[in-house]
Amino acid sequence: MYFTTSKMHVEIPGGKMVDSVIDEAHNPENLNPFKGNIDFEKLQGYIDEYGLDKIAFVNVEMNVNMAGGQPISMENLRKLREFCDGYKIKVIYDITRSSENAYFIREREKGYENTPIIDILNEMMSYSDGCIHSSKKDCLVNIGGFIATSDKEIYEATRSSVVIYEGLHTYGGMAGRDMEALARGLREGTQYEYLKYRINQVRYLGELLMQANVPVVKPIGGHAVFINALEFLPHLQREQWPGQTLSAAIYEHSAVRTMERGAVSIGRDSQTGENIFPPLELVRLTIPRRVYTNTHMEYVANSVIDLYERRDTIPGLKMIYEPKHLRFFQARFEQMTL
């Protein structure tokens, strides 16, 4: 499934990102433990439709964000490697949330119950040709990221283009102290006890909301609880941006800052310019690591539940400003009347 900024980076040089996640990922109620898995029939379909020479790489996101923070299984990663080897297609991971994915593999996949997270991660990475990493997430640092690859050709090409955007590869865009923090975070973020606390705190918030029948994506994901805005605000049309409306209403009600992950986020079709209305119209309650207590989670849950009880009084929004790229960051809206 697409991720907003990754999709943009594919589209800027003229590419197209196509969805190859299993159908279950688009259904908030489906309880598949690995909703981030790849559907091989879809992949084969793209090869047949576009031709092998048009496929630059297969992008695999760990703990698929837009599906609700849903993991991919080791079995699926292994199969993908075999599938892509058959066609000599590169497999590039987005490992931004890979430690949380590894935790779910340990929790849910047979044979990994007692495997250290770091060993699970090493096996996951062994099936890829390279990865991108936004380290602000699983690495517990304030800033930074990297690209890594075991492929000499990609390495050479990346090293020469990074100079244009960031500076020389050895001292590029990040300060030395940030790289040191990142190196430490790479290890620290894989500790089992820390991940257990982290994922269970997210789950705690999800369970509080589910007990009050607030519609959320199930199973609860790794980094966030996602509210199904279409179910929460059924009186709104898609053009009234239910996800954005709910996100703004929560902020107005309780100063809890959430994020729309639906039609505003996906943007317009790069070819036709039409709005896309994806099956998932969600609001993401993303929880920073090591910041909040469970009492904060109760405050958040109570605020959302309070709003849910008077949901039919919430009017929709009209988009009054739309930037060219990644509109969800900077668009502006006006409240409509009910």
Extract the tokens encoding 25.
């990922």
User: Which residue's structure tokens are 């943007």?
Assistant: 267
Residues 131-160 that bind ligand PLP (CB under 6 A): 134, 136, 145
Q: Does 128 interact with ligand PLP (rule: CB under 6 A)?
A: no
Residue 243 or 316 having the CB closest to ligand PLP? 243
Residue (of 89, 85, 83) closest to 37 by Cα position = 83
Q: Does 101 interact with ligand PLP (rule: CB under 6 A)?
A: no
Is 28 within 8 Å of 216 (Cβ atoms)? Answer: yes
Strand extents, DSSP E, 204-266: 224-228, 259-261
Strand extents, DSSP E, 106-244: 130-134, 145-149, 224-228
Which residues are CB-contacts of 106 (< 8 A; sequence separation ≥ 6)? Answer: 112, 113, 115, 117, 120, 192
- Which range of residues in 93-101, 114-122, 154-162, 254-262 is near ligand PLP by CB under 6 A? 93-101
Q: Which of 61, 100, 138, 281 binds ligand PLP (CB under 6 A)?
A: 61
Is 38 within 8 Å of 20 (Cβ atoms)? Answer: yes
Residue 68 or 316 having the CB closest to ligand PLP? 68
- Which range of residues in 94-102, 192-200, 201-209, 260-268 is near ligand PLP by CB under 6 A? 94-102
- Shortest CB 144 distance to ligand PLP, Å: 9
Q: Which of 94, 129, 138, 260 binds ligand PLP (CB under 6 A)?
A: 94
Q: Does 65 interact with ligand PLP (rule: CB under 6 A)?
A: yes
Is 145 within 8 Å of 179 (Cβ atoms)? Answer: no
Residue (of 209, 199, 191) closest to 304 by Cα position = 209
- Shortest CB 3 distance to ligand PLP, Å: 5
Amino acid, res. 207: E
- Which range of residues in 48-56, 91-99, 298-306, 322-330 is near ligand PLP by CB under 6 A? 91-99
Q: Does 5 interact with ligand PLP (rule: CB under 6 A)?
A: yes
- Which range of residues in 89-97, 213-221, 305-313, 314-322 is near ligand PLP by CB under 6 A? 89-97
Q: Does 129 interact with ligand PLP (rule: CB under 6 A)?
A: no
- Shortest CB 182 distance to ligand PLP, Å: 12
Is 335 within 8 Å of 317 (Cβ atoms)? Answer: yes
Residues 252-291 that bind ligand PLP (CB under 6 A): none
Query: What 3-state DSSP class applies to 19?
Result: coil
- In which element (H, E) is residue 177 found? helix 176-188
Q: Which residues bind ligand PLP (CB under 6 A)?
A: 3, 5, 61, 65, 94, 96-97, 134, 136, 145
